[in-house]
DNA sequence: CTGAATCCCTGCCGATACTG
DNA sequence: CAGTATCGGCAGGGATTCAG
């Protein structure tokens, strides 16, 4: 997809991808959603935003996440350029998962997702207290 | 899920939802992803960010989107509090779809998604030209 | 410890047809 | 014009098992 729209200040005002009429892989929004696609994916990224992790540390942090899905997610995030695997030599096998610089930049994206959801849930709870804001990265 | 992590300035520094260990519906990030969930959803929102639309205007703007999926998306976005239906009396039936104030605030979210994807695709094309930035809302 | 392979089941989405 | 009803294919993801 693509998302250029009405009145606005800066930016590339006429990126052709802002006018795609179907969910194509070239649209930046699709690229990002594709990287974050799948259940558990954002939680894995959150965990790695907090620091590098081993496979078993990720399992411990997300106990309900199965091995299959965890390796699927790590492989997918690897292909997306978000996560890097550092295989340390020796025995037993030690592997560290870390975010690439690109992956690190997902922090503001998750932050934006958090902020909107927090605002909605605050509104749904009825109270109109001060605006919420968490910090992901 | 939830996404509070390492160093950061403002915000609710200890929202318990930042530490959920499974994809629960209470996590703000999940709330947002749930609202945007499904193919074509972001494109429908983009179209409505540009202004209110009738059903057939949406179909015309997104020709490859089937009736079934379009009404699914509009219903889902309605339940999510993003879209409102204004049924105008008379014949033939005239219905306008508009974003709620909450829906309007998805603009920055889509912008964040756009920015990350644009940066990635720029990097993938190899050139390191100036940073891209589109404007959604 | 770090995964990959398999199986099965569910839910999404696309196409087609039909209604108020 | 603005949708709903129905069906089928396929991919996502959970549990289990096996391998380096």
Q: Which residues touch strand C (CB under 7 A)?
A: A 54-56, 67-68, 71, 74-75, 85, 92-95, 97; B 38-40, 64-69, 72, 92-93
Q: Is A16 on the interface with B (CB under 8 A)?
A: no
**Residue B41, in any domain of the structure:** yes
* Overall domain count for chain B: 1
**Residue B32, in any domain of the structure:** yes
What confidence score (pLDDT) does residue B10 get? Answer: 42
Strand order in the sheet with A53-54: A53-54, A94-99, A83-88
CA dist A131 and B16 (Å) reads 17
Q: What tens digit of pLDDT does each residue of B22-66 get?
A: 999 999 999 999 999 999 999 999 999 999 999 999 999 999 999
- Residue B125 binned pLDDT confidence (cut-offs 50, 70, 90): confident
CB-strand contact B95/D, under 7 Å = yes
Residue A129 has pLDDT above 70, yes or no: no
Task: Kindly list the residues from chain A whose CB atom is less than 8 angstroms away from the CB atom of residue B133.
Answer: 10-12
**Residue B16, in any domain of the structure:** no
Closest nucleotide to residue A59 (Cα to C1')? C2
Residue B117 has pLDDT above 50, yes or no: yes
Higher pLDDT, B135 or B102: B102
Q: What tens digit of pLDDT does each residue of A33-85 get?
A: 999 999 999 999 999 999 999 999 999 999 999 999 999 999 999 999 999 99
Average pLDDT of chain A is 88
Nucleotides in chain C near protein beta carbons (<7 Å): 1-6, 12-17, 20
Say yes or no for a CB contact (<8 Å) between B8 and A108: no
Residue A12 has pLDDT above 80, yes or no: no
**Residue B9, in any domain of the structure:** no
Q: pLDDT > 90: what percent of chain B?
A: 75
Average pLDDT of chain B is 88
- Please state the rounded mean pLDDT for residues B74-98: 95
Q: Are A95 and A54 in contact (CB under 8 A)?
A: yes
Q: Are B40 and A23 in contact (CB under 8 A)?
A: yes
What 3-state class would DSSP assign to B84? strand
What confidence score (pLDDT) does residue A125 get? Answer: 86
Instruction: Give B100 to chain A, closest Cα distance, Å.
Output: 12
What confidence score (pLDDT) does residue A90 get? Answer: 87
- Please state the rounded mean pLDDT for residues A73-99: 95
Q: What is the CATH number of the domain that holds B67?
A: 1.10.10.10
**Residue A85, in any domain of the structure:** yes
- Please state the rounded mean pLDDT for residues A89-100: 93
**Residue A49, in any domain of the structure:** yes
What confidence score (pLDDT) does residue B131 get? Answer: 61
CA dist A93 and A135 (Å) reads 34
- Residue in A with minimal Cα distance to B2: A43
- Which two tokens mark A83? 């996560």
Match 């644009």 to its residue by tokens: B118
- Which two tokens mark B118? 């644009």
Chain centroid to CA A93: 27
- Domain range for A63: 23-124
Write out A62-127 in H/E/C secondary structure: CCCCCHHHHHHHHHHHHHCCCEEEEEECCCCCEEEEEECHHHHCHHHHHHHHHHHHHHHHHHHCCC
What confidence score (pLDDT) does residue B124 get? Answer: 87
Residue A22 CA distance to nucleotide D9 C1' (Å): 21
**Residue B7, in any domain of the structure:** no
CA dihedral A36, A42, A44, A50 (to 10 degrees): 120
Q: pLDDT > 70: what percent of chain A?
A: 82
| Helices A106-124, A41-49: crossing angle, 10 deg rounding | 120
**Residue B5, in any domain of the structure:** no
Say yes or no for a CB contact (<8 Å) between B43 and A21: yes
What 3-state class would DSSP assign to B97? strand
CA dist B75 and B85 (Å) reads 9
Say yes or no for a CB contact (<8 Å) between B12 and A132: yes
Selected residues 50-79 of chain A with any CB under 8 Å from a CB in chain B? 50-51, 61-65
Q: pLDDT > 70: what percent of chain B?
A: 82
What confidence score (pLDDT) does residue A126 get? Answer: 78
- Residue in A with minimal Cα distance to B35: A117
């Amino acid at each position: 997809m693509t998302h250029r729209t009405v009145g606005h200040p800066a930016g590339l005002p006429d990126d052709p991808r802002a006018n795609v009429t179907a969910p194509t892989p070239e649209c930046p929004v699709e690229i990002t959603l594709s990287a974050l696609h799948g259940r558990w994916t954002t939680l894995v990224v959150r965990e790695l935003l907090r620091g590098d992790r081993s496979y078993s540390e990720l399992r411990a942090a997300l106990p309900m996440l199965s091995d299959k899905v965890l390796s699927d997610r790590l492989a997918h995030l690897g292909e997306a350029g978000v996560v890097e695997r550092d295989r340390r030599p020796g025995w037993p096998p030690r592997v560290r998962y870390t975010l690439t610089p690109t992956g690190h930049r997902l922090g503001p994206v998750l932050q934006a997702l958090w902020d909107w959801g927090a605002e909605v849930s605050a509104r749904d709870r009825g109270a109109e207290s001060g605006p919420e804001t968490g910090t992901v990265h």
